[in-house]
């Protein structure tokens, strides 16, 4: 099985951020179900607003890669962006379609592999992708596709995982050290035990190289609720430098 078939299989079962502990007993894709998904998302990841700056994109052509349950896509639609979205799964496309419809919005949503985007060159002002690229078999190929579909001067905004982070370290303690396999690398435990198989996490230097074709790339680490989990009173001392998320913003020449 190719890696992206396995990735698709994993995310078809449940779009990101819609687990039972988040949605409770609310009927699937009901107004309350979506409200729970949205509330949990922005409580856990408030830095999404800092990165995405949704209201900046009114009237602009947006492509979101990996729409998931459609929370951020809805924010862009509300802000007046001209919305297009892709995801590897039917589950995410249908969930996002219903999420937007519930609030009276629409988008051009397509199931597609972002390693081969179904759009012509220089189509978009913004490509946005939160927590997606590192799941794919060929992240560099997605970044090349993002570069192709952006117009000159267009922006990429997104998030990718950081390897030298507390989330990765805690996963290593559990899956390597306590499992009696201390020689396993951080990359190996993230690949096998973080969400879909094949997940990757990077250093800022690696990301800078991957976005080398862009005019400028700002790569900013952010400590997340997932880094602070289980740290009790020490949680508030976690520095952003050890955070699980890299916010990325890059402009095409």
Ligand X SMILES: C[S@@+](CC[C@H](N)C(=O)[O-])C[C@H]1O[C@@H](n2cnc3c(N)ncnc32)[C@H](O)[C@@H]1O
Q: Which residues bind ligand X (CB under 6 A)?
A: 4, 7, 11, 15-17, 65-66, 68, 86-89, 92, 113-115, 130-132, 135-136, 195
Closest to ligand X by CB, 131 vs 154, is 131
CB of 115 to ligand X, least distance (A): 5
CB of 30 to ligand X, least distance (A): 19
Closest to ligand X by CB, 245 vs 253, is 245
Return the SS3 of 218. strand
What residue spans of the chain are helical by DSSP H? Answer: 3-13, 20-23, 31-44, 47-52, 71-79, 90-102, 139-149, 166-172, 186-193, 204-210, 225-228
Closest to ligand X by CB, 87 vs 125, is 87
Distance CA 123, CA 160 (A): 23
Closest to ligand X by CB, 103 vs 181, is 103
Closest to ligand X by CB, 88 vs 250, is 88
Neighbours of 217 (CB within 10 A): 18
CB of 180 to ligand X, least distance (A): 29
CB of 137 to ligand X, least distance (A): 7
Tokens of 26: 């609310």
* Of the candidates 19, 71, 11, the residue with the CA atom closest to the CA atom of residue 41: 71
CB of 63 to ligand X, least distance (A): 11
Q: What does the radius of gyration of the chain's CA atoms come to, in whole angstroms?
A: 18
Closest to ligand X by CB, 135 vs 147, is 135
Return the SS3 of 209. helix
How far lies 204's CA from each of 103, 112, 149, 217, 248, in Å? 37, 28, 24, 10, 10
How far lies 40's CA from each of 13, 31, 37, 123, 244, in Å? 19, 14, 5, 33, 18
CB of 220 to ligand X, least distance (A): 17
**Crossing angle between the packed helical segments 90-102 and 71-79, to the nearest 10 degrees:** 40
Closest to ligand X by CB, 146 vs 166, is 146
CB of 182 to ligand X, least distance (A): 28
**How far is it between the farthest Cα atoms of the chain?**
55
């Amino acid at each position: 099985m190719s890696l992206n078939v396995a990735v698709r299989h994993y995310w078809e079962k449940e779009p990101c951020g819609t687990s039972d502990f988040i949605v409770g007993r609310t009927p699937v894709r009901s107004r309350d179900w979506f409200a729970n998904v949205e509330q949990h998302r922005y409580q856990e990841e408030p830095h999404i607003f800092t990165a995405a700056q949704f209201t900046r994109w009114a009237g602009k052509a947006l492509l979101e890669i990996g729409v998931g349950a459609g929370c951020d896509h809805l924010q862009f639609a509300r802000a007046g962006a001209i919305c297009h979205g892709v995801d590897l799964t039917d589950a995410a496309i249908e969930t996002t379609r219903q999420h937007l419809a519930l609030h009276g919005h629409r988008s051009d949503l397509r199931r597609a592999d972002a390693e081969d985007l179904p759009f012509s060159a220089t189509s978009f002002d913004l490509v946005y992708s939160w927590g997606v690229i590192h799941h794919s078999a060929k992240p560099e190929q997605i970044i090349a596709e993002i570069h192709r579909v952006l117009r000159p001067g267009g922006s990429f905004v997104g998030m990718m995982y950081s390897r030298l982070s507390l989330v990765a370290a805690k996963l290593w303690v559990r899956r390597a050290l306590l499992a009696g396999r201390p020689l396993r690398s951080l990359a190996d435990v993230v690949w096998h035990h973080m969400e879909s198989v094949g997940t990757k996490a990077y250093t800022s230097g690696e990301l800078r190289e991957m976005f080398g074709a862009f005019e400028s790339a700002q790569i900013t680490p952010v400590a997340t609720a997932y880094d602070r989990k289980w740290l009790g009173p020490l949680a508030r001392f976690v520095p952003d430098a050890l955070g699980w998320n890299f916010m990325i913003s890059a402009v095409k020449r």
